[in-house]
Every structure is written in structure tokens, then in C-alpha cells.
């Protein structure tokens, strides 16, 4: 494939609410090529995720891969195959309540998964990433309005802690 005139986006968490709508917006430009990644896990309704994918799967500039970002080798295949211009990292294990029950899963998916992406970006000389976090990083006990400059060192859940760790990895 010749990607000379294309901007190639790798979007993780593409079957989620934000990811699926972002793809639709980016595909308005016919020169954009979208590589979508989602593991379609059961953290919430898989049928809803599949429904979101249905309309965008028909676009010739969208390629979907059912991959868990924890699988370094599967992710590396994409970095080798496509000349990625920008990574938009939306994949995450979400949910405060269930993070209290299985914190290890949140650490693996949100921290180690992000680290895999960053390692591959370094290896393939990709310098541009947009990553989504959560308002849960701001201590919910505060009555103040959230500001990006607010202190985020006191997470109220394993989910919040994993997203803070993810954010901190982006600075390294």
C-alpha cells in the first residue's frame, strides 16, 4: 500500500464512545487513514461496541484490529505495517467500583498497556500522542472546580491511580 498522501492515525479504544465518534470525524477527510484497535472486552456491552463499529467498518480508509494493547507483538505488527503519524490513545479499563475489586487488571491495562504503546512509539520514531485520562484523577472529595493544574497525587481508587500513572508515563 502507498501511504504517501495519507495521514495515518492509530486509535486505541476505537469501539468506545469517544473513539467511534472521533473516527467518523477524521474519516471526513479522505486522505486520513485510521488504524483502529480495540479488544472488545466485556467491561461494558460488547454488542454496543460492535454496533458502533458497524458503520465505520464500511469505510475503505478504516482498518480494524481486535487487539489487546497488552499484547506487545500484535501491537508491534501495526507499527511495522503502517507509517503512523499520530497515536490517539483512548483504550483503558474504566470504572471506579470494579477497580476496587480487581486493581491488578486496571494496573495492567491502563499502565502496562500504555507503556507498550510508548515503547513502540520510541522504537518506530513516532513522537505524537494524544491520550485520554479521566476526571477521576482529581480527588472527588474536593468541592473545588477541577483544573488541569490541580494536585493529582491522592487518588481515590485504583482506577484513578492507574490513570495518574498513565499520565505520568507520557512525561517520560
Enter the C-alpha cell of residue 160: 484513578
The region, left, alpha or beta by phi > 0 then psi within -120 to 50, assigned to residue 123 is: alpha
User: Using CA atoms, how far apart are residues 28 and 10, in angstroms rounded to an integer?
Assistant: 16
**Angle between helix 46-57 and helix 17-26 axes, rounded to 10 deg:** 0
Out of 106, 138, 159, 171, pick the active-site residue.
159
Residue 107 annotated as catalytic: no
No. of helices (H) and no. of strands (E), the chain:
7, 5
Closest by Cα among 167, 153, 151, 66 to 111: 167
Catalytic center residues: 159
Amino acid at each position: 500500500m502507498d501511504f504517501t498522501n495519507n495521514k495515518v492515525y492509530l486509535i486505541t479504544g476505537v469501539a468506545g464512545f469517544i473513539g467511534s465518534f472521533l473516527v467518523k470525524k477524521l474519516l471526513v477527510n479522505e486522505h486520513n487513514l485510521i488504524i483502529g484497535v480495540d479488544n472488545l472486552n466485556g467491561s461494558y456491552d460488547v454488542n454496543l461496541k460492535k454496533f458502533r463499529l458497524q458503520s465505520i467498518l464500511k469505510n475503505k480508509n478504516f482498518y480494524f484490529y481486535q487487539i489487546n494493547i497488552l499484547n506487545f507483538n500484535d501491537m508491534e505488527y501495526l507499527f511495522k505495517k503502517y507509517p503512523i503519524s499520530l497515536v490517539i490513545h483512548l483504550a483503558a479499563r474504566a470504572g471506579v467500583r470494579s477497580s476496587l475489586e480487581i486493581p491488578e487488571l486496571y494496573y495492567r491495562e491502563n499502565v502496562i498497556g500504555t507503556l507498550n504503546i510508548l515503547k513502540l512509539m520510541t522504537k518506530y520514531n513516532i513522537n505524537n500522542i494524544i491520550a485520554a485520562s479521566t476526571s477521576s484523577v482529581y480527588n472527588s472529595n474536593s468541592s473545588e472546580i477541577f483544573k488541569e493544574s490541580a494536585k493529582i497525587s491522592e487518588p481515590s481508587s485504583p482506577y484513578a491511580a492507574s490513570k495518574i500513572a498513565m499520565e505520568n508515563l507520557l512525561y517520560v
